[in-house]
Structures are given as structure tokens and as C-alpha cells.
Structure 1
Amino acid sequence: MRTDPNGRFAPTPDALHPNGNNKKCLDVRGAVFANGTPVQIYDCNQTPAQQWVIRRGNTRVRLAGTNFCLDAGSSPANGVELKIWECFSNLPAQEWVYTDDNRIALEGQGFCVDLTGGDLTNGNPVQEWKCTDFDANQIWTQPTLLD
């Protein structure tokens, strides 16, 4: 494990899995690293399109090795598809909280990263949806954060 310049442990890039399914990953569609590219569910393939940096608590969800972050858009609502966008400090659409129960919630907005319809088919878009306790479609695990 690495440390950041302040001596804290730095998160290790890794895949984000829906509800602990380690065969499926949060993926940047077509591995196109550009503003507005949608994120989707896809078979895990260890490519850069599936390597995310995330911390417990307040965080940005950054695509490793890039300056792109998971972005909820300017008008959060049920069913809005998530995308990547250039990372900006203090941008509400990129301010997330990775909870102890493995939800990724848009800070102060009441929306969570959600597997659309619970569908694990390759290419299924990932959306934001009202955070709901015990909703398996809103559980995201990263092996490097599991103890």
C-alpha cells in the first residue's frame, strides 16, 4: 500500500463490483476517456476503463491514471445515467460518499450509484437513483477496501 504526501495511506486503484459480483465491473463505455462518456456494467477485464480510485467517506470516484471522475450531471434525478467528466474540485456532481455499507451516494443529494434494473448484461448503463437501504442494486465493492 502506498502513502500520499501527507503520510496517509493512498487508495489502490481497483475494479468496482456490483453487489460483490467479482465477474462484473463498473466500466467506461468503449474505454473512451472523454467528457460525457457513459459508464456501464461489463465483464471484468482488468483494463484501465475499469480501474477506479475511491476512499471510504467523502470522496471523488476517479478513473485511475486520468483526470476523469464519476459524474452525476447538473440535475440529479432517478434514472439519470452516470458518466465520466474531467475532475473539478468542489463540483457537487462529483462529490460522493462511499458508505460503510458499500453504497456510493452523491453527497447531500440522496441519490446513489445504481445498477439499472439489476441487469448485469454487458453494456447496461449505470444510473443514479434515490438511495434505498438494503437495495442490492446500490451495493458496490472494491477488493482493495475489503478487510
Structure 2
Amino acid sequence: PTGVQIHPNFNTKKCMNVAGNRRQNGTPVQIFDCNGSPAQRWNIFRGTTRVQLTGTNFCLDAGSPNQFRNGDKLKIFRCIDSIQAQIWDYTNQNQIRLKATESRRNPQCVDLPRGQSFNGNQLQTFQCSNRNPNQIWTTTP
């Protein structure tokens, strides 16, 4: 499988990107101009899903499960089956919600900080809010 590109709020010029295409634990996940690089190819499915860098054993990771709070910076980390920080729910509203927080009053979503799409803006989790354009993520082949 070749994976898909993941875009902020239908902006197909910008992509979810692994910084410097560095395949190591803790590498930031950011917004960058789409360029066809393997750093921008992801496996993601509707419903419960991992968000996995295509062809690698690295997954989108939200960090420490005890916290999961606004402003947690997103990164890649080696995929681990049962780790809550890597289990997401890709909703029909195009939000990528952290599954472990869905039962909370304030679930956490993948969020583009301040909606700014400059290259290198590191993605974060933030309290999900319906129709918040900073939390809309769409895919293209």
C-alpha cells in the first residue's frame, strides 16, 4: 500500500509530515508543503485506527497517557499495539480523536496550532470542538 497524504482543512497544498523524514522515536510531526515525500505518506482508516507512516513501524504518538492534555506535541514513535497514545478514531467529521479520551468531557483531537500552516508548525492535541477548522483532516491518494 502506498498510503495517503493527510491535509489540514481540505488544503491539499499542505501535508502532515515527519520532520526531516527522520525515522526515529520522538521526531516531530508537523505541517509542510506537500512534496510527494515518504515523510508524508500515512496509513489511516475511518473509525479506530493507528496513523502509521507508510512502509515503516512508526506511528503518530500523543505522548504520556497519564496526561493527554491541550498542547501535547505530536511525534512519531515505534508502533506498539496496545499503547493508548497511538490509538485514534478518524471520525466522519474528519477529526482525528485520541481514542483514550473519547469518554471524557473534553476529548483530545489532532490540532493545527493557531491554524497556522507555515512549514514546520508542529501538530498538537487540543480539546475537540465540532467544526473547528484547525481539527479538520482530509486525505488524498
Q: Kindly indicate whether residue 73 of structure 2 is the aligned counterpart of residue 81 of structure 1.
A: yes
Root-mean-square deviation (Å):
1.0
Higher Cα radius of gyration:
1
> C-alpha deviations, 1:59-85, integer Å up to 9, x for none?
000000000000000131101110000
Q: Give 1:12 deviation, angstroms.
A: 5.1
Report if the CA contact (8 A) 2:2-2:41 is conserved: no
Aligned partner of 2:135: which letter? Q
Equivalent residue in structure 2 for 1:114, among 100, 111, 114: 111
Equivalent residue in structure 2 for 1:134, among 128, 131, 134: 131
Give the TM-score normalised by the residue count of structure 1.
0.89
Q: Kindly indicate whether residue 59 of structure 2 is the aligned counterpart of residue 66 of structure 1.
A: no
* Structure 1: runs of 5 or more not aligned: 1-10
How far apart in 2 are the matches of 1:107 and 1:39? 19
Q: Give 1:17 deviation, angstroms.
A: 0.2
Match of 1:52 in 2: 42
Aligned partner of 2:110: which letter? V
Aligned partner of 1:95: which letter? I
Q: Give 1:108 deviation, angstroms.
A: 3.1
Of 72-81 and 19-28, deviating more is 72-81
Match of 2:104 in 1: none
State how 1:27-46 maps to structure 2 within 5 Å.
27-46=17-36
How far apart in 1 are the matches of 2:49 and 2:25? 19
- Same amino acid, percent of matched pairs: 53
